[in-house]
Amino acid sequence: MHSPPPTTTRRSISEGAEELLGREVPILDLGFVQPIDYMGNDFDIVQAARVSYGPSTRKVHDDRGLLRYLMRHRHTTPFEMCEVKFRCKMPIFVARQWIRHRTANVNEMSLRYTEAPDEFYVPALEDISIQAKDNKQGRDGEAIDPAIRAEVARLMRANQEETYAIYQRLAGELGIARELARSVLPVSLYTQWIWKIDLHNLLHFLSLRLDPHAQLEIRLYAEAMAAFTRAWVPLASEAFDDYRRQALALSRLEVAALGRILGGEDEASACEAAGLKGRELREFTAKLAAIRG
């Protein structure tokens, strides 16, 4: 998308967003995130809240204070008053995780209508890891023999080439219906879409997909969108960081254990008295370590 000559508008503007509009941020080997339009800015969030709470909130809160109050107390509807639109390109397996976020608008490339391009994801060598043992869903951090990484990449690439040749034989030479021929294509194939979402739901998406438990590949897309969001609505992003991203939730049992620790009990006996054990105990121990810094 070449940038058209800037135009004049009466709409709310975000200088930070304007700066980045139209710029493709490369992700993985062939993917990207490209912000293409937005609606609203930090001030529109505040203005929507003042419709609810009345002009007298002006005495109590300045704009930043009110916005932080909204985020802190989960008054989420004013954040729905901003909207953003991205063009994105990503492997199908990433798209499949992404689409689970239902409160969004999507137009995706259809392989019934168009022929699949020869574009597949192969992970960078350093991103090839073995299955984590302690975590059913993730990768292990441990070092892995470079020769194995190379073999993995080679196997993937070879399979992609062979599969794409079969796809071409089916959809091209034999003239088989595209909707059928595409069934051989792997979920490493790149797809594209335009994705539009309001800021509240985007932040919810980010809180899930920036999480260390999210798969690396989708996390990189989330990070690119988080970077745009910081430029677009800096106050909302800051509040999101302070009250959501870097916030810590303590369960009823954890609160009980913490109360005992603050009262002078040692950690082990406080946890036991509070009833924390097994996985929950390990989670609390990790939280305490994080709190202690």
Residues from 246 through 265 that contact a second copy (CB under 8 A): 246-253, 255-256, 258-259, 261-263
Question: Which of 25, 28, 34, 38: binder of a second copy (CB under 8 A)?
Answer: 38
Footprint of a second copy on 76-115 (CB under 8 A)? 77-78, 80-81, 83, 85, 87, 91-93, 96, 99-100, 102-103, 105-110, 112-114
Instruction: Establish if 54 lies at the interface with a second copy (CB under 8 A).
Output: yes
β-partners of residue 192 are 89
Nearer to a second copy, 26 or 140 (CB): 140
Nearest-approach distance from CB 26 to a second copy, in angstroms = 19
* Torsion, Cα of 219, 224, 225, 227 (10° steps): 120
Question: For a second copy, what does the binding mask look like between residues 161 and 190, x meaning CB under 8 A?
Answer: -xx--x--xxx--xxxxxxx-xxxxxxx--
Q: Which residues contact 107 (CB under 8 A, 6 or more apart)?
A: 193, 194
Instruction: Establish if 124 lies at the interface with a second copy (CB under 8 A).
Output: no
- Measured in degrees and rounded to the nearest 5, phi and psi for residue 140 equal -85, 145
Order across the sheet with 105-108: list the strands: 25-27, 31-39, 83-91, 190-198, 105-108
- Say if CB 79 and CB 202 are below 8 A apart: no
Instruction: Establish if 125 lies at the interface with a second copy (CB under 8 A).
Output: no
Question: Which of 125, 132, 150, 286: binder of a second copy (CB under 8 A)?
Answer: 132
Is 112 annotated in the active site? no
Instruction: Establish if 286 lies at the interface with a second copy (CB under 8 A).
Output: no
Instruction: Establish if 209 lies at the interface with a second copy (CB under 8 A).
Output: no
Catalytic residue among 87, 182, 209, 219: 209
Instruction: Establish if 231 lies at the interface with a second copy (CB under 8 A).
Output: no
Q: Closest by alpha carbon to 222, among 239, 245, 243?
A: 245
Instruction: Establish if 155 lies at the interface with a second copy (CB under 8 A).
Output: yes
Give the pair of three-digit tokens for residue 79: 């954040």
Question: Which of 215, 227, 265, 272: binder of a second copy (CB under 8 A)?
Answer: 215
Nearest-approach distance from CB 248 to a second copy, in angstroms = 5
Instruction: Establish if 153 lies at the interface with a second copy (CB under 8 A).
Output: no
Q: Which residues contact 18 (CB under 8 A, 6 or more apart)?
A: none
β-partners of residue 86 are 35, 195
Nearer to a second copy, 26 or 177 (CB): 177
3-state secondary structure 18-38: HHHCCCCEEECCCEEEEEEEE
DSSP 8-state code for residue 120: B
- Say if CB 197 and CB 104 are below 8 A apart: yes
Instruction: Establish if 269 lies at the interface with a second copy (CB under 8 A).
Output: no
Nearest-approach distance from CB 150 to a second copy, in angstroms = 12
User: Annotated catalytic sites, by residue?
Assistant: 209
